[in-house]
Amino acid sequence: MKKKSWRHRLHEIIYEADTPAGKAFDLILLIFILLSVILVALESVDWIDQEYHSVLNLAEWFITILFTIEYLTSCHFN
């Protein structure tokens, strides 16, 4: 049996939700989307933003970087 290339494997993970890795990828992506929405909502509450602004900002940047990597990776296959 021929071993799949890393590009083929990555394509399967990103685009094929019927594989265990694809399902895990989709689930993780959904969790990060939900977390991003929650962070923005928390930032809109004044006392939370004042107390945790740097943590919220750092978390938002981290998620934005992850989304950017995912986007650039998926663009590679189109």
**pLDDT 10s digits, 40-49:** 999 999 999 9
* CA 30, chain centre distance (Å): 7
Kindly list the distances between the CA atom of residue 78 and the CA atoms of 9, 37, 58, 74, in Å, as whole numbers in the listed order.
15, 27, 31, 7
With bands split at pLDDT 50, 70 and 90, how would you rate the model's confidence at 54? very high
Higher-scoring residue by pLDDT: 13, 76: 13
What percent of the residues of the chain are helix, what percent strand, and what percent coil, each to the nearest 5? 85, 0, 15
- Residue 78: the pLDDT is 61
Decide if 56 contacts 43 (C-beta within 8 A): yes
pTM of the model: 0.80
Mean pLDDT of the chain: 90
